Amino acid sequence: MAKEALFNILQNRIDFEDANVLDLFSGTGNMAYEFFSRECKSITAVDQNSKCVSFIKKTKDELKMSLLEVVQADCFSFVKGAYKKYDIIFADPPYDMPNYTELVELILEKKILAEDAILIVEHSKNTNLSQIQYYSSTRRYGGVHFSFFEV
């Protein structure tokens, strides 16, 4: 339900075919596959867990997802070294991660969001990101919260 609602919001704001997407804390790659199915220009899925990365790579090969790049890395380290601009950055860190604010601020400081881009951070109700610059809104779907940042 939450994912469907998120993509309903995005489809009214984003031209997916021109979008470069970064999926941080990609896990099984679920969100990366959703962006791929919407024919995004490019998708980069990043996760540090080798089993998750292997799974995404296997799925990528099986489904011939040539536009999907899979990177095994700590997401903070990846962002620190990033230089490419993204139109959509989706981050789904573990809900118990203590440094959500640090992640958002790092992404904003690195200026890897393109003009008119959106950063979406998934989190629990216990996380409040509204004090961070460029915050625009939070949407709640059951226990899932999406905070949006627009530059």
Provide the residue type at 47 as one letter.
D
Whether 124 is in a domain gets the answer yes
Residue 145 lies in a domain: no
Expressed as residue numbers, the domain containing 7 is 2-133
Beta carbons of 93 and 100 less than 8 angstroms apart: yes
Tell me whether residue 120 is in a domain: yes
- pLDDT above 80: residue 1: no
CA distance 115 to 111: 10
The pLDDT value recorded for residue 2 is 85
CATH number (domain holding residue 95): 3.40.50.150
pLDDT of residue 48: 97
Quick: pLDDT tens for 101-146.
999 999 999 999 999 999 999 999 999 999 999 999 999 998 899 9
Whether 106 is covered by a domain: the verdict is yes
Q: Give bridge partners of residue 121 from the DSSP assignment.
A: 91, 147
Does residue 149 belong to any structural domain of this protein?
no
pLDDT in tens, 8-33: 889 888 899 999 999 999 999 999 99
Domain assignment present for residue 122? The answer is yes
Element (H, E) at 91: strand 86-91
What is the CB neighbour count within 10 angstroms for residue 85?
13
Count of domains forming the chain: 1
Identify whether the C-beta of residue 40 lies closer than 8 Å to the C-beta of residue 67: yes
User: Mean of the pLDDT values across residues 43-69?
Assistant: 96
| pLDDT, tens only, 83-105 | 999 999 999 999 999 999 999 99
